[in-house]
Amino acid sequence: MEVIRAKRAGACYGVQRALDMADEVIADGGRAYTLGPLIHNPQVVADLAARGAEAVSSVEEIRWEGAAAAGAPADGVVPTNANAPAVVIRSHGVTPQVLAAVEDRGFSVVDATCPHVSRAQHAAAELAAEGCRVIVVGEAGHPEVEGLTAWAEEAGGKVDVVAAPEEIPEGLYDPVGVVAQTTQRRENLEAVVAALREAGLAPIVKNTICSATRQRQEAAADLASAVDAMVVIGGRNSSNTTRLAEVCALTCPRTFHIESADELDPAAFAGCRRVGVTAGASTPENQIAAVEAFLRTL
């Protein structure tokens, strides 16, 4: 059975940058925390925790043994001159309120926010500052979308999150600004913008979709149309990996979204002559290689 990897697959620049920054903190030997999972890959997050970078859901969860000696209050707040733990801001970014809370507690801040996400945050804030009603095209509840929403609201804007054209609220009027979650499909952004225009609006559109996301989706679609089965590797909590699986399934019904090679069932590939492999932007090379190696044994 021939195993073919998509031309674009695996960890993107923003993810690799975040991993490298976390690795540097760990290598320095200091205590480190990440606010939420650094990236949407459970195996990588578990490895970081084992090596000293623990994921916490809020700043309040961080407790430092040296806080009392440094003169910090019992609730764990650390003065700015203390040798405090490092808090790594995850690649999806955080809200301005969370960032302020980290800084107010005096922790050492390592901002691993993906530069593309930072650009989207700034775009949302700029639209809001210009008086636009901001439409965020993305998944409600996703950490990146929560951040985009909060940055726009911090700039004084009113924000609506829509996943599809049918979720656009009624009664909108210009000026309306549009940004997108960086891992959205371009077709979805275009459909929302088209619906706004059909409603008589003239939206100001900031296309904040990451080029790496688009490239991976296009490469995956090309490969999926030429193979008998597709394997998509990445966290099930990863938005961009989920999108990849959806794109592949459109032309290759035998598409499998997995997190590791352990999930592969040899029987699922019976009769396959060519199998394609792709991976989300939060999937490191070693996980892709393990899956390819397993498939080549079939």
Return the active site residues.
Answer: 144
Write phi, then psi, for 54 (nearest 5 degrees).
Answer: -85, 140
Q: What is the dihedral of CA 224, 230, 231, 235, to 10 degrees?
A: 50
Task: Give the CA radius of gyration of the chain.
Answer: 21
